[in-house]
């Protein structure tokens, strides 16, 4: 096993908590978290189980990043229109 892959694996193991949330629970909480983040209200103790899940789960992290980027665009008044989104697909 290559060193970077081994480091990622060891980091993931060490980042595991006794109680973790599922992807379904993450999806339930992620929009609230993004709203708090865009408002500048996210700290180390803001939804810690969600933060831990996002560090571990690439699928949920990708969903979070897309939602966060869209929320930031909206907050800046630069949100794409529905037609823009459709044409991008």
What average pLDDT does the chain have? Answer: 87
* Residues of the domain holding 26: 17-78
Distance from C-alpha of 3 to C-alpha of 6, rounded to nearest angstrom: 5
Domain count, the chain: 1
Which of the 8 DSSP states describes residue 40? T
Whether the pTM exceeds 0.75: the reply is no
Domain membership flag for residue 70:
yes
Check residue 87 and give its pLDDT.
87
Say which residues have a Cβ less than 8 Å from residue 44's Cβ, sequence separation at least 6. none
First-to-last alpha carbon distance for the chain, in angstroms, is: 37
pLDDT digits (tens, 9 = 90+) for 27-61: 999 999 999 999 999 888 999 999 999 988 999 99
Residue 7 lies in a domain: no
CA dist 76 and 33 (Å) reads: 18
pLDDT of residue 88: 81
């Amino acid at each position: 096993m290559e060193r970077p892959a081994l480091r990622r694996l060891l980091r993931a193991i060490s980042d595991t908590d006794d109680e973790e949330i599922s992807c379904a629970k993450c999806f339930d909480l992620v929009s609230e978290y993004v709203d708090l983040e865009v408002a500048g209200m996210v700290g180390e103790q803001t939804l810690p189980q969600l933060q831990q899940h996002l560090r571990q789960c690439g699928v949920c992290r990708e969903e979070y990043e897309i939602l966060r980027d869209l929320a930031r665009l909206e907050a800046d008044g630069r949100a794409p229109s529905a037609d823009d989104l459709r044409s991008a697909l």
